[in-house]
Structure 1
Amino acid sequence: MIKKVFCPLDCFDSCAILAEVQDGRALKLSGSKDHPITQGFLCKKGYRLLDKVYSEERIKKPLLRVKNDFHEVDWNTALDLIAERIEEILKRYNSSAILYYSGDGYEGYLRNIERLFFDYLGGATYSEGSLCWGAGLLAQKADFGNSLCHSPFDLFNSNWIVLWGRNALWTNLHLYYLVLKAKKQGKKVMVIDIYKSPTFKIADIGIVIKPSSDSYLAYGAIKCIIENGKEDRNFIDNHSIGFEEVKKIAESLSYKEVEEKCGISKAVIEQVAQVFLQKPVSTFIGYGPQRYTNGVNTVRTIDYLVAISGNVGIKGGGANFAHRFTENLEPVFKDDKRAVKKRFYNRAKLGEYLKSLSDPPIEFVYISAGNPVSQCPDSDLVFRELQKRFVVNVDMFLTATSYASTLVLPAASFLEKEDIFIPNMWHDYIGISEKAIEKIGEAKSEVEIINELAKRLNLDFPIKSEKEWVDVVKQHLEKNLNIKLEGHFTRGCAIDVPWEDRVFLTKSKKFEFKNDILGVAVPCTDDSQKLLKNQLRLVTIHSDKTLHSQEFFERKKLAYINPLDAKRLNISDRDRILIYNGCGGFILNVCLSEKVGRGFIIVEEGFQNEKIETINSCLFGFTAEKDSQAAFNSNFVFVKKVAT
């Protein structure tokens, strides 16, 4: 028997999966050949999802933590404890004394029922800001009015494909596959990054720049285009505002400054300009360039380059960052009229908010589909502050966060429940995911847990099954998107080329080089700190073996360092080192690599040791502009060799 499901991971590709089921057990997962994006294959993490489902390490029953030991309890006991604590908090304070943390460890839409539940309580303390893409979203909202991607297949209309800070081989495999097909048709590829990522292997032009210097490169190319009179005057004059200020900034910028900031030559700057002028050029912006304190500014300058070179609103063009085609739809699982006590915290500063929020203080934390101790900055502080409170953690496995939790509830896997998946990162194929197998152990879905809690608290809450909620969401999407959701998947919108009509969703209805709130983006870096002796910038990157803190393959805790930096620090290949700063420290082994530039160290994200220490122990809660997201890569560490 074949069951049609969807990959639950937080990923650009949002793959359609066929689960082969026999005698109630899933035997094999494969990519749907019918799905236009998946095209019959999955990434290596996708193929390992079955190992997760049937892992012996899965939590089978609710767990109550007493000191550092976990004890199994039945569901009634666990749910009663949660309901009793919520009732106590509502009597003593109000619902905003409850903090709700929903991560991106599971992408099914029905998980949002948790938000609706807390709205019915009166509104909790909810998250705002982002850990991974908020700066880019804010940037494109300022420039375009929303962040929208071209159809994935529109790149076949391009002359050049630019992957700017996007290691597609590891993070967007089906885009990588399409780029390979496009190359066979004669399309050219330029890759820009701060190190020679695995995606450089498909580059016709590969450019390595210094961390956080992207806006200088973008402005350098803009300067070159303007000097040669190649800017798209029709677009600029008729469909944009604020260009003259950008022009003045570009004209005042020297190539020497760009060369110094980026670590490249003038010839490379001119080469980038020439590529963008060979339109149509399809640009894919990754999340790396905006993981700094100047992240919003950085993405805006790349948008500027795309616009000035005439690549906005044309086939084969685009500044593709995210695809928020449902951005303006009313959410199904939200009731602001009931949430009169709601307030907000910033995810990048979770530990600080837990420590400082008052009137009322945070007494109860509900964590679902997330591992904030591993993923939030200043993870040691997050861990300490969570331990002081009543914390509910819904997960399939014991994580770093579980060890700071009071109760850990066993979550159902993506194969054990019905759901609907609405992608918003690259493509727009909405998916309906069937229930493929029965739940393992005593696992429950988000819908089941919330239904039980709502009953115990006597809330006037809409009690529905997963199937009923899927139908509600389907009807909502069909009505508002004017589509018919049938079968395994359906395209959510018919926009192949965003902004083709040159009508933008900004206040002016034009592309805004100058925005009322953010002003004009400028060439800058995040050099607010002066690099001290023995300090290196810490850059955390996504791994091909994990998805954030979800481990799919065993990996070594390695820190990649340029050999010249290692020599200066008296460090050799495979040495054991401590990286540390005023926030915390972490121990890894060194891997010397010429692919990494001078002055920074690269470490894959999500590392955790047996002491529940994580690599994020070394990351202060810095944020990009307007607190839009965590500025992970604006952190610096000292490095020293330690005994083996």
Structure 2
Amino acid sequence: MKQSDFITVVQHILSCALNMRHLVYNIPYFTRRMVMKTITACTMDCGDACSLLVDENKKSIRGNPEHPTTKGFCCKKGRRYFDRIDAEDRIITPLIKESSKFRKASWDEALTLVASRLDAARKTPESVLHIHGHGYRGLLSKASRIFFKRLGASSDYGTMCEKAGGEASFRDFGGRDHNDPEDIVNASRVINWGRDLTRTSIHQLALIQKARKNGTKVLTISPGGDDTPKFSDVNVTIKPGTDRFLAAAVLKLSLDTDDLDSQRLNRCANWPVLQELINGLSLNDLTQVCQVPTEDVAMIHDWYLDSGNVATVIGWGLQRYLHGGENVRFINGLAMISGNIGISGGGVYYSCPTGRHLGSWEHLVEGASGDRRELFMGDMAAEISRADPPIEFIWVDGHNVVNQVPDSRAMVDAFRAPFVVVVDGFMNDTALCADVILPPAFMFEREDVLGSYFHNCVNHCAKVMEPRGECRSDFDILSDLGSRLEPPLLLPDAETCLKEGLKKKNISIDELRGKGFVKVNHPSIAFENMQFGHADGLYRFPETLSPEPKSNQEYPLQLLTLIRGSSMHSQIPEKDQCGIPTVWVSKQNPACEQLSSARNSFLITLQGAMQVNVEKANNLHPDVVIIRRGGWMKCGHNANTLIRPMKTDMGDCTALYSQTCRLESR
């Protein structure tokens, strides 16, 4: 380095040392790679949406201490992300399948082949199917949705995640919103309905722990399978999927014993309907269904109705049942009746739309814009098999869909006939079904901008390093592919898309790149003064209480495929999936008496059987069998092979947790 260049670098460092947030953008690129961490952000499917400090040379990742939610720490999934980037089995060059085997190919060969097959199929646009997931989030991650929409291709609808609860919130409040995350420290009490805070939101957990130090009490209601009891003052075990009955029981007790605030009820459009419904129910019947003792119902009633503000936290698991949306609606109704909506220290924390602070750049792309065919994600194999016109071309990105949807074996069969392109970096269950695999750039290897469904910051996801091997960003792949089509489908440049998406909140891309994040001005109290999003400004209660499905004596247990703490969904290293998968049951589980240590144990449903190791755990409901989600079928770890397709009562969510099962030795 010349002396003049060295002096220039030193001047840059000294001039920016008082503002570390700007340092990475004021030092020449080659220098900042040597001297400091880069401010970027996590784009994984998580509401915490952490702002991160990344040191490529030291392979270190930590939370940004300047970020108002991240506050200097992040979860192990984020801290270990270099393991994913540097994995030996990562796919870093395009692959083409020939005679059932994959061979390496150049990008030109792979995209020429894909373009020719897509051009042939797009003559009947519905014969093209695009399946998109949230393997990563961000403004540019929308590119594939926009690209295939403009082609007029078939798409997926529904979700594995939170849409039942999201629709429930919309029906009740007229919109999806919650108090600022920081406001939970103002609660006198927090009631956590089933959220596994250690595995889903360590930053919400940190805020609740901060509140506890200041005297806030925490009550958790859950069938188990989480670490929440050690962060709670009181724990109530509930039969899985019956939360609406417990909430209705508390409402019943409130109607029988409390003088409800008439001003509050006047902010509700249909209170008399709910009142009549609850009055017609028996408290004893309700408690028998949810298997919560009457004294615990009375305790929960007191937690909600005593003086002091109560914040309610709702986990996504309780809405992954056939009546999951109703579960959420009755909990929302309980928070409303008790006077804990629209106030500081109260509210319901479920989730907010991720893109609420970002705009769309879809209008910048020319092409088809009308209605198109949609296939239900939760029963995708059957949807593909009965599609008319038939599916001839499938593009999958951001989604290990063969692994993640119910009846995974049927998905393998459904993917045999069409020409399948998978954008993925590992040979997972979906990639194995591909005719062409295109390797994407990962987080830290591409630039993007994203919001959060938890906090109110927009984060800049800076590019920290060049992609490994021949990997390319999804946006770049689609731009190249679109230019090869006849006629071409052209995307704007990425910079234009980012700037367009930031216009909604008047955020400058330069400011965002400089600071790493921008906190958006958003009301700190959701639905303040009980002003709701419906046209009349009023709240809506549920008007029915659906019965539980009849019990199945042959399959008496409930299978719950719960979230992992070490990996995001199915982004699990293959080396960590050796041997036989483990399930966890209560010591009081009736199956324990029939299992023999001398024989193999099997998890069995109507869909099939899977060999498992059985371990006993505390704080589980006796009817529950827990297995951690995302294990690969190729490794014998995928529980979705045992789950039949079912849809929730609202929101087109997949009712993954309504699967019954049994355990036996063979």
- Both proteins in one fold, TM over 0.5: yes
Please name the residue that 2:52 is paired with. 17
**Worse-matched range after superposition: 266-275 or 325-334:** 325-334
Please name the residue that 2:663 is paired with. 639
For 1:479 and 1:3, the matched residues in 2 are separated by 21
State which of 523, 542, 546 in structure 1 corresponds to 2:567.
546
Please name the residue that 1:300 is paired with. 329
For 1:202 and 1:27, the matched residues in 2 are separated by 32
Please name the residue that 1:161 is paired with. 190
Once the two structures are TM-superposed, the CA of residue 349 in structure 1 deviates from its matched residue by 1.1
Where in structure 2 are the equivalents of 1:90-239 lying within 5 Å? 90-91=122-123, 94-121=124-151, 123-195=152-224, 197-237=226-266, 239=267
Please name the residue that 2:390 is paired with. 361
Please name the residue that 1:245 is paired with. 273
| Contact 1:113–1:450 (8 Å) recurs in 2 | yes
Please name the residue that 1:422 is paired with. 451
For 1:421 and 1:326, the matched residues in 2 are separated by 8
| Contact 2:223–2:621 (8 Å) recurs in 1 | yes
State which of 119, 132, 139 in structure 2 corresponds to 1:87.
119
SS of the residue aligned with 1:292?
Answer: coil
Once the two structures are TM-superposed, the CA of residue 162 in structure 1 deviates from its matched residue by 1.4
2:72 aligned with 1:72, yes or no? no
2:501 aligned with 1:473, yes or no? yes
2:534 aligned with 1:499, yes or no? no
| Contact 2:428–2:632 (8 Å) recurs in 1 | no
Change (3 A) 1:621 1:328: farther
Normalised to the residue count of structure 2, the TM-score between the two structures is: 0.89
Once the two structures are TM-superposed, the CA of residue 327 in structure 1 deviates from its matched residue by 4.7
Once the two structures are TM-superposed, the CA of residue 471 in structure 1 deviates from its matched residue by 2.4
Once the two structures are TM-superposed, the CA of residue 388 in structure 1 deviates from its matched residue by 2.0
RMSD (CA atoms): 2.4
| Contact 1:429–1:492 (8 Å) recurs in 2 | yes
Please name the residue that 1:45 is paired with. 77
Identity rate of aligned residues, in percent? Answer: 26
2:569 aligned with 1:537, yes or no? no
| Contact 1:577–1:590 (8 Å) recurs in 2 | yes
State which of 441, 444, 468 in structure 2 corresponds to 1:412.
441
For 2:183 and 2:366, the matched residues in 1 are separated by 38
Change (3 A) 1:200 1:87: same
Which AA in structure 2 matches 1:286? G
2:400 aligned with 1:374, yes or no? no
State which of 610, 616, 634 in structure 2 corresponds to 1:586.
610
State which of 442, 448, 456 in structure 1 corresponds to 2:470.
442
State which of 336, 340, 348 in structure 2 corresponds to 1:319.
348
Larger-gyration structure (1/2): 2
| Contact 1:384–1:404 (8 Å) recurs in 2 | no
Change (3 A) 1:484 1:542: closer
Once the two structures are TM-superposed, the CA of residue 143 in structure 1 deviates from its matched residue by 0.5
Please name the residue that 2:8 is paired with. none
Change (3 A) 1:615 1:262: same
User: 1:504-562 CA distances to partner (integer Å, 9 max, x unpaired)?
Assistant: 11243211115xxxxx142x4532x4312354221111111221101269367211123
Please name the residue that 1:277 is paired with. 305
2:548 aligned with 1:526, yes or no? yes
Please name the residue that 2:10 is paired with. none
Which AA in structure 2 matches 1:526? E
User: 1:131-163 CA distances to partner (integer Å, 9 max, x unpaired)?
Assistant: 110100110110111111211110111101111
| Contact 1:61–1:410 (8 Å) recurs in 2 | yes
Once the two structures are TM-superposed, the CA of residue 127 in structure 1 deviates from its matched residue by 1.7
2:373 aligned with 1:350, yes or no? no
For 1:353 and 1:207, the matched residues in 2 are separated by 40
State which of 21, 30, 43 in structure 2 corresponds to 1:8.
43
For 2:166 and 2:588, the matched residues in 1 are separated by 37
Once the two structures are TM-superposed, the CA of residue 301 in structure 1 deviates from its matched residue by 0.3
State which of 584, 601, 605 in structure 2 corresponds to 1:577.
601
For 1:138 and 1:72, the matched residues in 2 are separated by 45
User: 1:390-413 CA distances to partner (integer Å, 9 max, x unpaired)?
Assistant: 111111211110111111111101
SS of the residue aligned with 2:260?
Answer: coil
SS of the residue aligned with 1:4?
Answer: strand
Which AA in structure 2 matches 1:97? S
For 2:435 and 2:548, the matched residues in 1 are separated by 39
User: 1:209-256 CA distances to partner (integer Å, 9 max, x unpaired)?
Assistant: 00111001101111112222243321111x111111111222222221
For 1:337 and 1:308, the matched residues in 2 are separated by 49
SS of the residue aligned with 1:259?
Answer: helix
Change (3 A) 1:341 1:262: closer
Once the two structures are TM-superposed, the CA of residue 581 in structure 1 deviates from its matched residue by 2.6
**Worse-matched range after superposition: 292-301 or 190-199:** 190-199
Please name the residue that 1:32 is paired with. 64
| Contact 1:144–1:505 (8 Å) recurs in 2 | yes
Change (3 A) 1:601 1:612: closer
Please name the residue that 1:614 is paired with. 638
Which AA in structure 2 matches 1:162? I
SS of the residue aligned with 1:83?
Answer: helix
For 1:336 and 1:295, the matched residues in 2 are separated by 39
Change (3 A) 1:315 1:521: farther
Change (3 A) 1:543 1:484: closer
Give structure 1 stretches of 5+ with no counterpart: 515-519
| Contact 1:159–1:187 (8 Å) recurs in 2 | yes
SS of the residue aligned with 2:444?
Answer: helix
Which AA in structure 2 matches 1:109? L
How many residue pairs match? The answer is 625
Once the two structures are TM-superposed, the CA of residue 325 in structure 1 deviates from its matched residue by 6.9
Normalised to the residue count of structure 1, the TM-score between the two structures is: 0.92
Once the two structures are TM-superposed, the CA of residue 587 in structure 1 deviates from its matched residue by 2.0
State which of 484, 487, 505 in structure 1 corresponds to 2:515.
487
